[in-house]
Chains A and B, each alone.
Chain A
């Protein structure tokens, strides 16, 4: 069965650079979630989208922005990267009527040097 695809899987950036993470949900899933997991920490919810509209927002820095496109894929854009942004970024997808069934992607490991 198709799963959530995230790209790239690994990304190394320098401070103050920008990064774009991509997420391709499971086919027919209309809701996408982004989570950030710092080293030794639990995943923290950043933002979610339903039908290309932001549906919920967590502790996402102002330097970050995200959107969901017409094909339901989503991109997380991070600017002015800081060392503290080094983390594992997970994307999850679900159907809106079954948001309790979130399927996680493999994650993108971002390292900021």
Chain B
């Protein structure tokens, strides 16, 4: 069964600090996808990134970067020079797409990030 663990529940930082959000996953499939979503107080789920299990390249997008390590089953997310607008709940999720079935997303419990001015 697939499982996503976000051990950190709440993180508070001061603006301009760097912060890393941890994600550890479990799956028996060799083909899977990992995601990060941001959920601001307004409630919508904002897609940030998708990674497939065959692509271990790290990715950087502006102040955001992701570190995918299959050896440790981790997909960590770093925000550099955090801003108040980064305050939100961040979810890591896993999908095991197989012919339309079992392609649901399994989410971690989420990490509440508070960035103070």
Contact = CB atoms under 8 A, between A and B. Distances in A.
A45 interface: yes
Given A42-B109, A99-B97, A106-B44, A58 B33 contact: no
Interface in B89-113: 91, 95, 97, 100-110
30 contacts: A31-B103, A33-B104, A35-B105, A41-B109, A42-B107, A42-B108, A42-B110, A43-B45, A43-B91, A43-B105, A44-B107, A45-B104, A45-B106, A48-B103, A55-B101, A56-B101, A58-B104, A99-B97, A99-B103, A100-B52, A100-B95, A100-B103, A102-B103, A102-B105, A104-B44, A104-B45, A106-B43, A106-B44, A107-B44, A107-B45
Nearest to B107: A42
Interface residues of A, number: 27
Given A43-B107, A56-B102, A92-B105, 16 more contacts: A31-B100, A33-B105, A35-B105, A42-B109, A43-B91, A45-B104, A55-B101, A56-B101, A96-B100, A100-B50, A100-B97, A100-B103, A102-B103, A102-B105, A103-B47, A106-B44
